[in-house]
Amino acid sequence: MNKIHQGKTFRERAREALKDDFMRQAVRKAVDTLETRKEEATDALGNWDQWREQGKRIREHAVENLDYYLSQLAANVRNNGGTVYFAPEAKDARQIILEIIKKHGGKHIVKSKSMVTEEIHLNKALIKEGLDVVETDLAEYILQLADEPPSHIVVPSIHKSRDQIAELFSNVAREKIPNDTPSLTAFSRKVLREKFLQADIGITGCNFAIADTGAISLVTNEGNARLTNSLPKVHIAVMGMERLVPSFADLEVLLTLLPRSATGQKLTSYISITNGPKKPEDLDGPDYFYLVILDNGRSRILADTEFRQSLHCIRCGACFNVCPVYRQVGGHSYGSVYGGPIGSVISAFLTNDMERYGGLAYASTLCAACSTVCAVKIPLHDLLLKLRHRYVTHKYTPAAERTVFKLWRTTFQNPKTYRLAIKMAQKAQSPLVNNGYIIKGPPPLSAWTNSRYFPKAAEKTFREQWQQQHH
Amino acid sequence: MKASIFITCICDNFYPQVGNAMVNILEKCGVECDFPTEQVCCGQPALNTGYWDDTREVAKTLLRAFKDSEHVVAPSGSCITAIKEYYPIIFEHDPEYLLLARELVSKAYEFTQFMHQVVKITDLGARFPYKVTYHASCHATRLLGVSPYVHQLLSNIKDIELIPLTHAENCCGFGGTFSVKQPEVSEAMVDEKVFHIKETGADVVTAVDMGCLMNIEGRLKKEGSKIRALHITQLLDEGMRL
Ligand code: SF4
Determine which helix (DSSP H) or strand (DSSP E) holds A67, and give its type and residue range: helix A66-79
Show the beta-strand stretches assigned E in chain B: 2-5, 32-34, 72-74, 108-110, 131-134, 161-162, 204-207, 228-231
Spatial CB neighbours of A252, under 8 Å, sequence gap ≥ 6: none
* Mean pLDDT in residue range A176-190: 90
Minimal C-alpha gap between B140 and chain A (Å):
10
Tell me whether A466 touches chain B (CB under 8 Å).
Answer: yes
Contact B52 A422 (CB under 8 A): no
pLDDT score recorded for residue B211:
96
Contact across the interface for B45 and A408, Cβ inside 8 Å: yes
pLDDT at A357: 96
Q: What is the mean pLDDT of chain A?
A: 93
pLDDT surpassing 50 at residue A158: yes
What kind and span of H or E run contains A455? Answer: strand A454-455
CB of A34 closer than 6 angstroms to any ligand 1 atom = no
Residues on chain A touching B188 (C-beta within 8 angstroms): 18, 24, 328-329
Find the range with the poorest average confidence among A313-322, A324-333, A444-453, B216-225.
Answer: A444-453
Contact B61 A413 (CB under 8 A): yes
The DSSP 8-state label assigned to residue A69 in this structure reads: H
| Contact between B39 and A415 using a beta-carbon 8 Å cutoff | yes
- The one-character DSSP state at B141 is I
Residues of A in contact with B43 (CB under 8 A): 412
Chain B nearest-CA distance from A46, in A, is 20
Which A residues, 3 through 62, put their C-beta within 8 Å of a C-beta on chain B? 10-11, 14-15, 18, 24
Sign of CA dihedral A205, A209, A215, A220: negative
CB A350: neighbour CB atoms within 10 A?
A: 24
| Closest residue to atom 6 of ligand 1, CA basis | A313
Residue A150, classed as helix, strand or coil, is coil
Cα(B71)–Cα(B80) distance, integer angstroms: 12
CA angle A378, A154, A68 (to 5 degrees): 50
Query: Hey, how many other C-beta atoms are within 10 angstroms of the C-beta on A403?
Result: 10
A15: nearest CA in chain B?
B184
Q: Is A311 in the pocket of ligand 1 (CB under 6 A)?
A: no
Sign of the C-alpha dihedral, residues B164, B167, B173, B174? positive
Confidence tier at A4 by pLDDT (50, 70, 90): low
Which chain B residue has the Cα nearest residue A10? B182
Q: Which residue of B has its CA nearest to A391?
A: B50
What's the whole-number mean pLDDT along residues A166-184? Answer: 92
Does the pLDDT at position A162 exceed 70? yes
CB B147 within 8 A of CB B110: no
The residues in A 327-366 lying below 8 A from B, measured between CB atoms, are 327-329, 361-366
Q: Which residue has the higher pLDDT, A253 or A284?
A: A253
pLDDT band at A7 (very low <50, low <70, confident <90, very high): low
Predicted pLDDT of residue A221: 81
Give the residue-averaged pLDDT of A228-255.
95
Distance CA B82, CA A364 (A): 16
Query: C-alpha distances in angstroms, A438 versus A444, B184, B216?
Result: 13, 19, 15
Residue B130 at interface with chain A, using a CB cutoff of 8 Å: no
Q: Is B32 on the interface with A (CB under 8 A)?
A: no
Q: Which of A369, A391, A439 sits opposite B171 (nearest CB)?
A: A369
* Per-residue pLDDT tens digits for A357-415: 999 999 999 999 999 999 999 999 999 999 999 999 999 999 999 999 999 999 999 98
Element (H, E) at A345: helix A340-351
Indicate whether residue A319 lines ligand 1 (CB < 6 A).
yes
Closest C-alpha residue for ligand 1 atom 4 = A319
With a 6 Å cutoff on the Cβ, whether A77 touches ligand 1 is no
- Dump pLDDT digits (tens) for A63-79: 999 999 999 999 999 99
pLDDT band at A1 (very low <50, low <70, confident <90, very high): very low
Within an 8 Å CB–CB cutoff, is residue B187 touching chain A? yes
From the alpha carbon of A318, which atom of ligand 1 is closest? Answer: 3
pLDDT under 70 in chain B at which residues? none
Q: Is ligand 1 within 6 A of the CB of residue A254? A: no
Cβ of B175 within 8 Å of Cβ of A444? The answer is no
d(CA A162, CA A153): 19
CA angle A147-A14-A118, nearest 5°?
35
Q: Give chain B positions within 8 Å (CB) of A466.
A: 5, 19, 35, 37
B225–A contact, CB cutoff 8 A: no
What is each CA distance from B205 to A132, B22, B163, B164, B217, in whole angstroms?
Answer: 58, 18, 10, 11, 9
Phi, psi (degrees; rounded to nearest 5) at A318:
-60, -35
Say whether pLDDT at A2 is over 50. no
Cβ atoms within 10 Å of A394's Cβ, excluding its own: 11
Q: Above 90 in pLDDT, residue A348?
A: yes
Give the pLDDT confidence score for residue A227 in this predicted structure: 84
DSSP annotation of B165 reads: P
Instruction: Report, in this order, helix, strand and coil percent for chain B, each rounded to 5.
Output: 55, 10, 35
> Is B40 within 8 Å of A447 when comparing Cβ atoms?
no
Integer Cα distance of A455 and A136 in angstroms: 55
| β-pair partners for B5 | B73
- Kindly determine whether residue B189 and residue A324, on different chains, have CB atoms separated by under 8 Å: yes
Whether chain A has a CB inside 8 Å of the CB on B1: the answer is no
Contact B109, B72 (CB under 8 A): yes
Please work out whether the CB of residue A323 comes within 6 Å of at least one atom of ligand 1: no
Our CA-based measurement puts residue B74 at a distance from the nearest CA of chain A, in whole angstroms, of 13
Burial of B236 by CB count in 10 Å (0-12 exposed, 13-18 middle, 19+ buried)?
buried
Task: Please state the separation of Cα A312 from the chain's center in Å.
Answer: 13
Contacts of B12 in chain A (CB under 8 A): 422, 461-463
d(CA A143, CA A158): 10
Residues in B touching A385 (Cβ below 8 Å): 47-48, 50, 86
Say what the pLDDT of residue A181 is. Answer: 87
3-class secondary structure, A244: strand
Share of chain A above pLDDT 90, in %: 81
From the candidates A23, A462, A466, A467, which should be mutated to test the interface with B, based on the most B CB atoms within 10 A?
A462
Residue of A325, A393, A462 with shortest CB distance to B16: A462
Supply φ then ψ for residue B136, to 5 degrees.
Answer: -85, 100
